[in-house]
Amino acid sequence: MTERISSSTLEIKDLDVSFIQGEKEANALRGISLSLKRKEVHSLVGESGSGKTVTSTCIMGLLPPQVARINRGEIFLGEQNILALEEKDQRKIRGKEIAMVFQEPARYLNPTLKVGEQITEMLRLHLGMDKGEAVTRALEILDLVGLDGGKRILGSYPHELSGGMKQRIMIAIAISCDPSFLIADEPTTALDVTLQLQILNLILSLKNRLDMGILFISHDLRVVRDISDWISVIYAGRIVESASKEELFSNPRHPYTRMLFESIPDADKRGKRLKAIPGKVPDAENIPQGCAFHPRCPIAEEICGSNQPETKDVESNSALDSHTAACHLIGKQWKN
């Protein structure tokens, strides 16, 4: 079996990514930085089109090579910048040290291969197991992800399984090599509420059992409320606010975060009208100058349309936790 690297942090530094098509450039990530520790759930939250999936696919090395360009940035797994490694070495690390689950298992699972072959292939490729060892381990993993009848499932094709089972199989494949980090990109968005809860609980229990760090990606602040340790809010390819969950929920400082909170249905707000955020996330081809949020921001001033705000520390309710936000008018009083 190959040696385990077991890094304790995954750190994304100043990641800047564009898609180039002819004359057009879509600057989808504009200097993303975030840090993930093992045994921690760090959620990345923002409306659709804000750059969440580009972040996850870039970490996994799955950006479309014909059109994507990494302009700058680093992805450190422990001490090692994986973007500086040769592609074959990057591939070895991804899948083994960093694994990913997607929104749509149907697109990820190979319809022509039995589930068992798809799980054992990972084990043989990354961990060098022989067939017998891989099957034994695959049965253990199915048990871990809460699937009974292991042998029958290993012999099934994906289309013979329900949506919830396919989601569990995808998670089984992702965790098969005991990764240090799991990236979960909207893993429950396509599921009904009951299944959503089951899959969230499964991801949390696996995090605890396997000591993984999880980058949990969602457009829905309600979903991340129960599971996150830390939350970063992304808008138009930049992190606009980042804090511990308790701090962010009790002391949101960026106008976009505050408006996201106002737009979520909540038991406390029953009977009150929810406020949708006017306008929409800009296309990565047409990011507004200055603060990208200024056309939608109720308190924008002249400086907001011309200067991009830097990310700064803001006063935190907790002396222990840092809290950062990128806004020129962080102290301005307003009621949304």
Ligand X SMILES: Nc1ncnc2c1ncn2[C@@H]1O[C@H](COP(=O)(O)OP(=O)(O)O)[C@@H](O)[C@H]1O
Stretch touching ligand X by CB under 6 A, among 3-11, 47-55, 95-103, 206-214? 47-55
Chain centre to alpha carbon of residue 213: 11
Return the residue of 82, 284, 291, 327 that touches ligand X, per CB under 6 A: 284
Site string for ligand SF4, 282-321 (x = CB under 6 A): ---------x-xx--x-xx---x----x------------
The footprint of Mg ion on this chain (CB under 5 A) covers a number of residues equal to 2
User: Residue 239 in contact with residue 215, Cβ under 8 Å?
Assistant: no
3-class DSSP assignment, residue 312: strand
Is 15 one of the binding residues for ligand X (CB under 6 A)? no
Stretch touching Mg ion by CB under 5 A, among 39-47, 53-61, 69-77, 250-258? 53-61
- Closest approach of ligand SF4 to the CB of residue 19, in Å: 25
Can you read off the two tokens belonging to residue 312? 């700064």
The pair phi, psi for residue 163, each rounded to 5°, is -60, -45
Nearer residue to Mg ion within complex by CB, 52 or 323? 52
- Closest approach of ligand SF4 to the CB of residue 215, in Å: 24
The residue to which tokens 């009208």 are assigned: 273
3-class DSSP assignment, residue 219: coil
Nearer residue to ligand SF4 within complex by CB, 49 or 61? 49
Question: 64 is in the binding site of which of ligand X, ligand SF4, Mg ion, none (Cβ under 5 to 8 A by kind)?
Answer: ligand X
Is 283 one of the binding residues for ligand X (CB under 6 A)? yes
Instruction: Kindly calculate the radius of gyration of the chain based on its CA atoms and give it in whole angstroms.
Output: 21
Is 50 one of the binding residues for ligand X (CB under 6 A)? yes
Can you read off the two tokens belonging to residue 288? 């507004």
3-class DSSP assignment, residue 146: coil
Is 53 one of the binding residues for Mg ion (CB under 5 A)? yes
3-class DSSP assignment, residue 89: helix
Is 235 one of the binding residues for ligand SF4 (CB under 6 A)? no
- Closest approach of ligand SF4 to the CB of residue 302, in Å: 10
Q: What are 94-97's contacts with CB under 8 Å, separation 24+?
A: 94/60, 94/61, 95/122, 95/125, 95/126, 95/177, 95/179, 96/2, 96/126, 96/127, 96/177, 96/179, 97/5, 97/7, 97/179, 97/180, 97/181
- Closest approach of ligand X to the CB of residue 241, in Å: 16
Nearer residue to ligand X within complex by CB, 33 or 251? 33
Question: 197 is in the binding site of which of Mg ion, ligand X, ligand SF4, none (Cβ under 5 to 8 A by kind)?
Answer: none
Residue closest to 31 by CA, chosen among 51, 47, 5: 51
- The residues pairing with 80 across neighbouring beta strands, listed in sequence order, are 77
Instruction: Note the residues at the interface with ligand X (CB under 6 A).
Output: 19, 26, 28, 46, 48-54, 64, 67, 283-284
Instruction: Note the residues at the interface with ligand SF4 (CB under 6 A).
Output: 255, 291, 293-294, 297, 299-300, 304, 309, 327-329
